[in-house]
Amino acid sequence: AAKDRGLGLIEVFDDAASSRSLDRLGLRSDLLGALEGDQFAVHYQPICDLGSGQVVAFEALLRWTHPQRGPVPPDVFIPLAEETGAIVPIGHWVLEQSCRELARWGAMGAKRIRVNVNLSPVQLQQPHLARELLDIVQRSGVDPGDVCLEVTEHSYLREDVTESAAVLRTAGLHFALDDFGTSYSSLNYLKWFPIDLLKVDQSFVGGVAASDTDRGIVRAVLAIADSLRLGVVAEGVETEEQRAALLALGCPLGQGNLLSPPLTPDAAAELLAGDRHSLAAS
């Protein structure tokens, strides 16, 4: 909503207003029992080479099926989980599941890929975050270098936050800056956070074929990535025109419904196992 219009300040008010009304519906308290109630699932969306269609990674995306209401979108329940702090155990669980799937893909003999896991700003503020996340990764037996944590630009960059990020980076994990370009602190993040990968927000990708402004912004993001030696992923690639425009600009990787929607764990494993590594190759 407000986010799509790129108005960060308005987004704050929108979120507060909508979470107040949802709280009245009891969603917030239902969320507290959802983990133990086995109501969550993690789906995996391929991140692909835009030219060949080869899968290079999967992004883990949390799904909540409410026992009475059915599926609740993450944009609705993640903010509620952040307000209550439930995002901390939930986020640990998502990482655990994601590492388990990554280990399973490896055991299948699939080619080596990465898994990207979203990390909430609230998680980043936890004092023992680095130790806890490293425990999860190490217990799973996967290579920490195959795990990428996606952070957003919303959180304040305090010293302790950048310290736990540095610990995780030193242990081999990678960091992606999600929804890049939609917040005011993007460049500051690049300066203080050990980022490896930029994810170009879908609001710019949406117009990359049709709007000179969006194309100019994507070109600028690619130039930043190039000069800082960062990888780039275009988010929300929905059409062939967008893919062609991104390739013409030199954007190597993309994620979006044109390539594949988020998949169940079994469908993701099947995709890797079969001879279908290439999605919608051009």
238 near ligand C2E, rule: CB under 6 A:
yes
- DSSP percent split of the chain into helix, strand, coil, nearest 5: 50, 20, 30
Give the footprint of ligand C2E on residues 138-157 (CB under 6 A): 150
Give the footprint of ligand C2E on residues 15-44 (CB under 6 A): none
Query: Residue 33: exposed, middle, or buried by beta-carbon count in 10 A (0-12, 13-18, 19+)?
Result: exposed
79 near ligand C2E, rule: CB under 6 A:
no
The phi-psi region of residue 64 (left if phi > 0; otherwise alpha if psi is between -120 and 50; otherwise beta) is beta
| Residue 68 and residue 39 in contact, taking contact as beta carbons nearer than 8 Å | no
Which option in Mg ion, ligand C2E, none does residue 254 bind, with CB closer than 5 to 8 A by kind?
none
240 near ligand C2E, rule: CB under 6 A:
no
178 near ligand C2E, rule: CB under 6 A:
yes
Count of helices and strands (H, E) across the chain? 12, 9
Q: Which of 179, 217, 230, 272 binds ligand C2E (CB under 6 A)?
A: 179
Euclidean distance between CA atoms 231 and 62, whole angstroms: 24
Q: Which residues are at the interface with Mg ion (CB under 5 A)?
A: 118, 150, 178-179, 235
- Single-letter code of the amino acid located at 151: V
Which option in Mg ion, ligand C2E, none does residue 127 bind, with CB closer than 5 to 8 A by kind?
none
Residues that bind ligand C2E (CB under 6 A): 45, 61-62, 73-75, 78, 87, 91, 94, 118, 120, 150, 178-179, 202, 235-236, 238, 255-257, 262
